[in-house]
Structure 1
């Protein structure tokens, strides 16, 4: 700023100069934050201020709003951060906690609480919220007559116990005597439409609870400069494909790709454990199948949420057609009048519903149980296509402005037809040095390497679950960490599906990977998985953990992760002399210490 510029202020020349120096070079977001900070200071009552005769009594200051979130994929954190920013901008005092870090002893003192929490799989809390959930549901939970609360619940309607954790917590808070500020809202994978009104209501109720809201000053930046774009879920970065290499051999039952993308010029950075969000496109073959089955014209223009697109484009890039959801099934059941489908929606049909949602795509339902749909009705009924998250398989310390992924292509036969995944098919068909992919970084603070590089780590990652551990080993090598690294990897066949085999062998040779145990389930008569290798090495696994090692598990949530957990319980019973209950409690304590971390899906 030129020294000749004068500000017309009541501050006096000296303080005006200090103010100019303070704001020199700040970007608009920083200036907005300062405006809120100064407005908050201005709103504080003067210590010497006294009520004037006849004046209305002033409302006493309300307690700080507490915001607790539990997340498995990052969506709950995203919404919690959005609410926190809006509350702070409105002058509302707020403190936010990841559920695993919330001091549960303080719950009895809370007066205004917002909970944003997801449901993992079929009715389980996220790993980082398990302790919070268990405490609230336990007999140790305090009476909460003075608490006012609201819950925003996230889930996947493909599971029968949709948003179960949020529903149970909402009911439990009321059972403990707390009063609802407003009704719980349940969000599907396409969470924005349902979440937005809840966030608005949460803001308004918080403003009402704290009294007259602070009106923020409008600040005009003293320097109008170009602000570099910030790439995010709402504004993804078009990354160029640098490499797309199949890393499974001939005869492999899976087509797994190593994909490298360029982040050059994006300003995006990531840490090991983070995920890359990919904005997918549905396979053209699947789009054509939906159109032909319903006898609809893909060129038909259809409007939804302020956008008008041809139907084929909606089905390609706007709507979810590779996953069948309960709301769409219910809508189709009504249209078809099919008694079998309607029975699935009753309590007696819960198990059959679970199987259908797990095994059927939208096209399977349309083919098996025909019903008439117009283009407008179909677009309105399908949920929005949401980004897919992939564990990042590289350390930025090693690869620079690149990001690497390990992608298993979903491509299988079912019900007499070929089926495809959305993002995996999209990524695996991208051409290196030619195609672009819209991406963003999804931070994952609950799956981090230990800050102390001398700490040992055990990594359990069968299949593509090995991806983040490639990043871990690279990071530890580049940073000179002295702790030992032990990897358990599993797949079907050694010859064709040993992902990154040469890299692991090189890491062992260089001393960057100290132990490598593998399990190839179909190379012998008896199937052997990573949990079997864990038990075989149980004595040493126990020694590493008792010596302070951190344990990481990444991969499939429904079978692998529970099986690994049972193996760990057995190890503590066999080699630690603990009862089953004590072994479980010990693993829970490792979770609380952030030494047993899972990234499962």
Structure 2
């Protein structure tokens, strides 16, 4: 049997699944297989019937939803009109990337595998379910899964055994060639203009929203810096409802741009054009020609914690024996703990790793940068305002991420610190953004009561919902809000007070540090068991949870189950069945993040 060509299709929201798919592609290249690596929505799904060998790598988002770049594929694949045996000639494998702290862990991968089997595809290996929560990260599942996959491929296609694969320390050809131009320019090559006939903004067509204000809403003495950002989106054609999210793609700091260019001996003002060396598409976000400054500032995620593939690629091009040996050790199964201790746990950035391997970095060819360092991914934020109350405006409640590890420099969140640094009082600030539908949906009718549980910045989508509902005359609203201190981080306090005084809101608060014994929102939910049983059982209300995904969502769910048992007189099993039924009908929804 002739050697097959391999197709690797990925659905990725944050870039992890894409990175894993590219890793599969590199392994195929080392086995001298012809390979294509594509996003699922960048592939014509109708062509699957003519493929022989496919690997699907996909993550799960929200409430068990597929990533944005596989939604069209998803809709097509689940058409009822597709014949049962339409993929009977396909050998394939499915690798899922997920987080077991979420209820629908790897839901998309499981459902995809089941559907492919329904359509007649042959599964070479069981579905892989990688877990971010594993002590050793997703690689604890990915590594043995890939080994099993390649063993199966070699059995099916013995001709591959006749070819000597490339060694791991042999560099593969770069995906792109950078052609540097003689002239330089001081101008920013990217131009974002306002066009009255422009389409609705999307990832490929951003709207430059003018920042109106950037106001700190926590007390100056409070450890956590939280901002309320206000944007002018008039003329954008952007429409959104409560529960929707805004996406913003950050950029690297000027300090990081300069450090990166110094390490790699690059002139930030030099310009280049890009030529793909294979089937790789030219990145649509890069202008033509592009400056090195633009590439580093707006495209390469040099402030991210690098994945193992970064070390694999760096090891393959290392010229120093000492540095190459250390990089290879990090890539090996035996060095997994060392890599965790060096990189993952202290959150060391790609830029810092490059500085730690100066000989390799100084010799690094610019052609390899786009293979080595992933693209900056957009960040999603719950919209904290309603167009019905603030027309032409969009507001975001932003927690600025700063924390310490064993490293000398504090760790910072790229997007939150970039946004926090912008000062519209010093001159016009434009932030390119777009909006997409979120995971929360609120009842359209007048009488259905809603219960909202949003501690900390989790209250953001509920502010939008309450603004929207009150503007429509909906008064059956209950909010559970929690924070550390009534005096330091009680977001939107005056707004809740006005709604309460108007008889449009019942507010219950939990200030965890204002007394000796810590009190959280789940404690308040338990205390209001009678009210919640009445609203959920007798008045068929809807219950919403938003906030950090660690312990809070599960604790609130347990508290609601307790309320059903105590006030409804039902068993624990019956209460759980009621919650499951509410989830299925959209009466129990959550929006959480880690």
The question of whether the paired residues in 1 share the 8 Å contact of 2:455 and 2:483 is answered with yes
For residues 554-589 of structure 1, what are the alpha-carbon distances to aligned partners after superposition, in whole Å with 9 as ceiling and x for unaligned?
111233323333333444444444554444333222
Give the TM-score normalised by structure 1: 0.64
The question of whether the paired residues in 1 share the 8 Å contact of 2:242 and 2:383 is answered with yes
**Which residue of structure 2 lines up, in the alignment, with residue 554 of structure 1?**
546
Pick from 261, 271, 277 the counterpart of residue 231 of structure 2.
Answer: 261
**Which residue of structure 1 lines up, in the alignment, with residue 245 of structure 2?**
275
For residues 353-375 of structure 1, what are the alpha-carbon distances to aligned partners after superposition, in whole Å with 9 as ceiling and x for unaligned?
49953650334544566662226
**Which residue of structure 1 lines up, in the alignment, with residue 531 of structure 2?**
540
| Deviation at residue 404 of structure 1 after TM alignment | 0.8
Q: 3-state SS of the aligned residue for 2:445?
A: coil
Provide closer, same or farther for how the CA distance between residues 341 and 571 of structure 1 changes in structure 2, counting only shifts above 3 A. Answer: farther
Provide closer, same or farther for how the CA distance between residues 227 and 505 of structure 1 changes in structure 2, counting only shifts above 3 A. Answer: closer
2:305 maps to 1:324: yes
Write the mapping of 1:239-250 to structure 2, written as runs, cut at 5 A. 239-250=209-220
Provide closer, same or farther for how the CA distance between residues 393 and 539 of structure 1 changes in structure 2, counting only shifts above 3 A. Answer: same
In structure 1, distance between residues paired with 2:528 and 2:341: 36
Pick from 434, 437, 452 the counterpart of residue 440 of structure 1.
Answer: 434
The question of whether the paired residues in 2 share the 8 Å contact of 1:154 and 1:163 is answered with no
Pick from 512, 536, 540 the counterpart of residue 521 of structure 1.
Answer: 512
| Higher Cα radius of gyration | 1
Pick from 362, 372, 384 the counterpart of residue 350 of structure 2.
Answer: 362
**Which residue of structure 1 lines up, in the alignment, with residue 255 of structure 2?**
285
In structure 1, distance between residues paired with 2:325 and 2:418: 34
The question of whether the paired residues in 2 share the 8 Å contact of 1:279 and 1:386 is answered with yes
Provide closer, same or farther for how the CA distance between residues 579 and 312 of structure 1 changes in structure 2, counting only shifts above 3 A. Answer: farther
In structure 2, distance between residues paired with 1:158 and 1:288: 35
| Deviation at residue 597 of structure 1 after TM alignment | 0.7
| Deviation at residue 72 of structure 1 after TM alignment | 1.9
In structure 1, distance between residues paired with 2:140 and 2:543: 28
Q: Alignment RMSD, CA only?
A: 4.6
Write the mapping of 1:404-423 to structure 2, written as runs, cut at 5 A. 404-414=395-405, 415-423=407-415
Q: 3-state SS of the aligned residue for 1:76?
A: coil
| Deviation at residue 230 of structure 1 after TM alignment | 3.2
**Which residue of structure 2 lines up, in the alignment, with residue 214 of structure 1?**
none
Provide closer, same or farther for how the CA distance between residues 330 and 598 of structure 1 changes in structure 2, counting only shifts above 3 A. Answer: farther
The question of whether the paired residues in 1 share the 8 Å contact of 2:314 and 2:372 is answered with no
Pick from 457, 465, 468 the counterpart of residue 464 of structure 1.
Answer: 457
**Which residue of structure 2 lines up, in the alignment, with residue 161 of structure 1?**
138
Provide closer, same or farther for how the CA distance between residues 456 and 530 of structure 1 changes in structure 2, counting only shifts above 3 A. Answer: same
For residues 211-239 of structure 1, what are the alpha-carbon distances to aligned partners after superposition, in whole Å with 9 as ceiling and x for unaligned?
xxxxxxxxxxxxxxx95433211111011
The question of whether the paired residues in 2 share the 8 Å contact of 1:123 and 1:161 is answered with no
For residues 128-172 of structure 1, what are the alpha-carbon distances to aligned partners after superposition, in whole Å with 9 as ceiling and x for unaligned?
996x888999xxx9996664499999999898237989x99xx9x
**Which residue of structure 2 lines up, in the alignment, with residue 390 of structure 1?**
381
The question of whether the paired residues in 1 share the 8 Å contact of 2:100 and 2:131 is answered with no
The question of whether the paired residues in 1 share the 8 Å contact of 2:102 and 2:549 is answered with no
2:114 maps to 1:122: no
5+ unaligned residues in a row in structure 1: which ranges? 1-67, 86-93, 98-105, 172-225
Q: 3-state SS of the aligned residue for 2:377?
A: coil
5+ unaligned residues in a row in structure 2: which ranges? 1-57, 149-195, 275-281
**Which residue of structure 2 lines up, in the alignment, with residue 495 of structure 1?**
487
In structure 2, distance between residues paired with 1:70 and 1:314: 29
**Which residue of structure 2 lines up, in the alignment, with residue 530 of structure 1?**
521
**Which residue of structure 2 lines up, in the alignment, with residue 79 of structure 1?**
69
The question of whether the paired residues in 2 share the 8 Å contact of 1:447 and 1:599 is answered with yes
Q: 3-state SS of the aligned residue for 1:372?
A: helix
**Which residue of structure 1 lines up, in the alignment, with residue 499 of structure 2?**
507
For residues 486-538 of structure 1, what are the alpha-carbon distances to aligned partners after superposition, in whole Å with 9 as ceiling and x for unaligned?
11112222211111111111111122222x12222222333322222222333
The question of whether the paired residues in 2 share the 8 Å contact of 1:108 and 1:142 is answered with no
In structure 2, distance between residues paired with 1:577 and 1:407: 41
In structure 1, distance between residues paired with 2:65 and 2:249: 15
**Which residue of structure 2 lines up, in the alignment, with residue 372 of structure 1?**
360
The question of whether the paired residues in 2 share the 8 Å contact of 1:256 and 1:406 is answered with yes
Deviates more, 1:466-475 or 1:415-424: 415-424
The question of whether the paired residues in 2 share the 8 Å contact of 1:458 and 1:486 is answered with yes
For residues 536-558 of structure 1, what are the alpha-carbon distances to aligned partners after superposition, in whole Å with 9 as ceiling and x for unaligned?
33333333222311111111123
Provide closer, same or farther for how the CA distance between residues 575 and 295 of structure 1 changes in structure 2, counting only shifts above 3 A. Answer: farther
Provide closer, same or farther for how the CA distance between residues 135 and 320 of structure 1 changes in structure 2, counting only shifts above 3 A. Answer: closer
The question of whether the paired residues in 2 share the 8 Å contact of 1:127 and 1:598 is answered with no
Provide closer, same or farther for how the CA distance between residues 532 and 267 of structure 1 changes in structure 2, counting only shifts above 3 A. Answer: same
**Which residue of structure 1 lines up, in the alignment, with residue 170 of structure 2?**
none
Deviates more, 1:328-337 or 1:418-427: 328-337
Deviates more, 1:518-527 or 1:306-315: 306-315
2:333 maps to 1:346: yes
In structure 2, distance between residues paired with 1:567 and 1:347: 44
In structure 2, distance between residues paired with 1:311 and 1:382: 14
| Deviation at residue 591 of structure 1 after TM alignment | 0.8
In structure 1, distance between residues paired with 2:513 and 2:70: 44
The question of whether the paired residues in 2 share the 8 Å contact of 1:121 and 1:558 is answered with no
Q: 3-state SS of the aligned residue for 1:543?
A: helix
Provide closer, same or farther for how the CA distance between residues 111 and 507 of structure 1 changes in structure 2, counting only shifts above 3 A. Answer: farther
| Deviation at residue 254 of structure 1 after TM alignment | 1.1
The question of whether the paired residues in 2 share the 8 Å contact of 1:121 and 1:557 is answered with no
The question of whether the paired residues in 1 share the 8 Å contact of 2:98 and 2:106 is answered with no
The question of whether the paired residues in 2 share the 8 Å contact of 1:70 and 1:126 is answered with no
